[in-house]
């Protein structure tokens, strides 16, 4: 039996991943206090834990509490995050800080805590959610994109630091995901659903593979040419 912890346990992608990994395992859904407490069919046990991602000083305590109650975390998936308000952020530095803190600082903090715990045991799997938005930051969502660029770089370096330790770090790079977070927005080419993202992530966890996981895989080819597009063209690209 494995212990699977999803940080962002009410997110659509998080719940889809948890559902696919539930059978016979203990699943920890860590999410903000209040709100629904979903059950998962097939799980040996479902544990709900209050988790405020932006309270980085409490990350170590939260992980310790989970492991004291559920056992060592075997698989940790970080699915929390915000899009933020790009238009507001262009004139309000507080909105910039809010987006960067949740989508980069809090992610890096929790990854560090989890990696240290897993490295000490010599085993474990971490899944960090980057985005194609961070591969070359676009004018249309440059605050969110820069947060993802920072997270992608951090996770890439961490993956190299963990090489040979027994800890597997997966950097998921989905494109546009059709769901609550993007409701009302026009889907981009090669969009995915939360279920499709979860299928790809769970397959990678079970089968192994490269650190970077592009979802769908076609985006890897598309963004391989992005660095070479002239800035005059790139600045007109939609989000």
What are the pLDDT tens digits along the chain (239 aa)?
Answer: 899 999 999 999 999 999 999 999 999 999 999 878 888 888 999 999 999 999 999 999 999 999 999 999 999 999 999 999 999 999 999 999 999 999 999 999 999 999 999 999 999 999 999 999 898 898 989 999 999 999 999 999 999 999 999 999 999 999 878 877 776 677 767 778 999 999 999 999 999 999 999 998 888 777 776 676 576 665 776 76
CA distance 63 to 5: 9
The whole-model pTM stands at 0.92
CA neighbours within 13 Å on the CB side: how many for 76?
29
Q: How far apart are CA 121 and CA 71, in angstroms?
A: 12
Q: Which two tokens stand for residue 146?
A: 């820069």
Q: Report the C-alpha gap between 24 and 45 in whole angstroms.
A: 8
Provide the terminal-to-terminal Cα distance of the chain, rounded to the nearest Å: 41
Closest to 121 in 3D by CA, of 168, 171, 158:
168
How many angstroms from the chain centroid is the CA of residue 103?
9
Give the model's pLDDT for residue 232.
65
Residues assigned a catalytic role: 144
- Are 13 and 79 in contact by the 8 Å Cβ rule? The answer is yes
Residues in Cβ contact with 100 at an 8 Å cutoff, skipping those fewer than 6 apart: 143, 146, 147, 150
Q: With left for phi above 0 and alpha for psi between -120 and 50, is residue 35 left, alpha or beta?
A: left
């Amino acid at each position: 039996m494995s212990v699977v912890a999803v940080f962002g346990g009410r997110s659509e992608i998080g719940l889809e991943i948890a559902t696919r990994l539930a059978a016979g395992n203990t699943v920890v859904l860590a999410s903000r206090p209040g709100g629904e407490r979903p059950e998962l069919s097939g799980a040996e046990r479902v544990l709900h834990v209050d988790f405020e991602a932006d309270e980085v000083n409490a990350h170590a305590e939260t992980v310790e509490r989970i492991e004291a109650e559920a056992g060592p975390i075997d698989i940790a998936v970080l699915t929390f995050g915000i899009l933020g308000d790009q238009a507001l952020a262009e004139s309000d530095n507080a909105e910039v800080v809010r987006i960067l803190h949740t989508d980069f600082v809090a992610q890096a903090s929790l990854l560090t805590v989890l990696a240290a715990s897993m490295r000490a045991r010599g085993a474990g799997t971490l899944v960090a959610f980057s985005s194609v938005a961070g591969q070359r930051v676009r004018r249309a969502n440059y605050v969110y994109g820069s947060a993802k660029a920072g997270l992608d770089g951090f996770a890439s370096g961490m993956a190299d630091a963990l090489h040979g330790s027994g800890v597997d770090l997966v950097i998921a790079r989905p494109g546009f995901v059709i769901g609550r977070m993007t409701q009302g927005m026009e889907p981009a080419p090669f969009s995915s659903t939360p279920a499709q993202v979860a299928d790809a992530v769970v397959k990678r966890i079970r089968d192994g593979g490269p650190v970077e996981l592009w979802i769908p895989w076609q985006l890897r080819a598309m963004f391989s040419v992005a660095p070479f597009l002239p800035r005059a063209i790139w600045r007109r690209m939609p989000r």
